[in-house]
Amino acid sequence: MAGPTRQGTQDLIDQDPNADRDPIAKKVINSCVGPPYSCSQPGFKQSPRIVAVPVFNTQEYWATGGPGQGTVHIVNIFGFFVDRLGGTGGNPDVIGYLATTIALSSSSGGSVARDAAFLKAIQLVR
C-alpha cells in the first residue's frame, strides 16, 4: 500500500503545509488555523495534521480470528501530529509526534475534557 499511504499522507500534509512542531513547547506552530487563517478548507479548530489513532487490544483481536474476522476493541485513542514522509522505495514511513488535541466529540453529545482527550505519557507494561 505504498502508493496510497504516500498519497494520503501527502494530501493531509498539504492541508496545513506550514505547520510544524515546537519541540520545546510541544505544540503545533505556524498552522493554517491561526492568523492569517489560510486553511484551504475552513472550519478547522486545530491543525488537520493532528489525527486520532486508535489503540486496540491485539490479544483479543488475534484470539477472535485475526484479519477479516477478529474483534477490534478500541481501548484508547491518542493524537499524532503528522510531520513528514520518510523512507524510500515501496514502504514509506510516516514520521510524526504524539500530540494533544482540543477535545473529542461523541455522537451521544458533549465532549471529552482537554486533560482526558489524548495520551499524555507513555508507559510500557509487561
Region 39-66: what's the mean pLDDT? 89
3-class SS at 14? Answer: helix
Mean pLDDT of 68-88: 88
Beta-carbon neighbour count of residue 39 at 10 Å? 15
Domain ranges within the chain, ordered by starting residue = 2-117
pTM: 0.73
Which has more confidence, 78 or 8?
A: 8
Q: Write down the pLDDT at residue 61.
A: 92
Mean pLDDT, residues 90-104 taken together: 78
Average pLDDT over residues 51-60: 88
Whether the pLDDT of residue 111 is over 60: the answer is no
Opening angle at CA 73, ends 72 and 74, nearest 5: 110
Mean pLDDT value of segment 52-57: 87
